[in-house]
Amino acid sequence: MVVVTGQNKVSGNPDDAMSSSDAEDDFQEPATPTATQAGQALPLLPQQFPEVVPLNVGGMHFTTRLSTLRRYEDTMLAAMFSGRHYIPTDAEGRYFIDRDGTYFGDILNFLRSGDLPPRERVRSVYKEAQYYSIGPLLDSLEDIQPLKGEKVRQAFLGLMPYYKDHLERIIEIAKLRAMQRKARFAKLKVCVFKEEMPITPYECPHFNSLRFERSESETKLFEHHCEVDVSFGPWEAVADVYDLLHCIVTDLSARGITVDHQCIGVCDKHLINHYYCKRPIYEFKITWW
């Protein structure tokens, strides 16, 4: 007879007891799990957040309600504070977000009451709204200035072939010339023309008819590249040459480049018969320091 005590001790006749090999087949005492095994076996519980949430966003401190952070379901903030992800805390117990907090207050104000930032901060807040994937805020910002005007401007620039490539060419040429001359600035010639067909002043009334009456062979006679560094055009839109010049200067300035420009005349190259190229030529001055 085998007697099992509370301590699992076995006593009795040796002949009645199981052999060690048989015991191993029926029962093996589990080994003590390691820390790694325990971590794998016991998944982390969902993180619990208080109703009032203290935040540390890149060193700037904020306090808001948990419901504010979860206002819109399809946002990064709602996902971060859903309990499905672990958010680290700083020494004071604030939940830490590793992001510049300069415009986070504007993000919270929109989540709280739908307030939009002043115009001078719209572009910066828009970038933060993109990072946090706050769709309603992105839509609201796109409907006000300056982003609404930027959408119109980009629609115009979409008509311009190789616009961004031409901007890069302006920068590269100006940099190369300044380095070669060891100079503080560099100058280059830029042609900006809206109409593709060259004309002379006294033939303007016949422009439309002449444009469509040319044969393919005659059209080749008017193919012409002005002797400039970069050429923009043609395009079909109400916006004129001065509008495009404004876009060029604006986009170069946005990259920290100081640029001045002035019209220095027209190409005026003779093409055929009484036709001359009348595309305006501008001198761009890029100052590097």
Q: Say yes or no: 68 and 115 in one domain.
A: yes
H runs (alpha helix) in 50-162: 66-69, 76-80, 104-113, 122-131, 135-142, 147-157
Q: Say yes or no: 139 and 172 in one domain.
A: no
Segment 217-230, tens digit of pLDDT: 555 555 677 889 99
Residue 249, φ and ψ in degrees, nearest 5: -65, -40
Residue range 261-273: mean pLDDT, rounded? 82
3-state SS, residue 217: helix
Q: Say yes or no: 86 and 184 in one domain.
A: no
Residue range 65-86: mean pLDDT, rounded? 95
pLDDT of residue 46 exceeding 80, the answer is: no
* Whether 175 contacts 288, CB under 8 Å: yes
Closest-CA residue to 111 (of 61, 70, 140): 70
What does pLDDT average to over the chain? 82
> How many percent of the chain have pLDDT more than 70?
73
Using 50, 70 and 90 to split pLDDT, how confident is the model at 272? Answer: low
Q: Say yes or no: 81 and 185 in one domain.
A: no
* Whether 18 contacts 32, CB under 8 Å: no
> What is the distance between the alpha carbons of residues 103 and 164, in angstroms, rounded to a whole number?
29
Using 50, 70 and 90 to split pLDDT, how confident is the model at 3? Answer: very low
CB count in 10 Å sphere of residue 20: 8
Radius of gyration of the chain (CA): 36
Is the residue at 16 inside a domain? no
Q: Say yes or no: 162 and 283 in one domain.
A: yes
Look up the domain containing 97 and give its range.
52-144
Structural domains of the chain, count: 2
Q: Say yes or no: 127 and 182 in one domain.
A: no
Segment 142-185, tens digit of pLDDT: 999 999 999 999 999 998 889 999 999 999 999 999 999 999 99
Q: Say yes or no: 235 and 163 in one domain.
A: yes
Residue range 39-57: mean pLDDT, rounded? 76
- For residue 182, CA distances in Å to 178, 218, 252 come to 6, 46, 21
Is the residue at 17 inside a domain? no
Q: Say yes or no: 181 and 129 in one domain.
A: no
Q: Say yes or no: 96 and 177 in one domain.
A: no
Q: Say yes or no: 86 and 178 in one domain.
A: no
pLDDT value at residue 26: 47
3-state SS, residue 276: strand
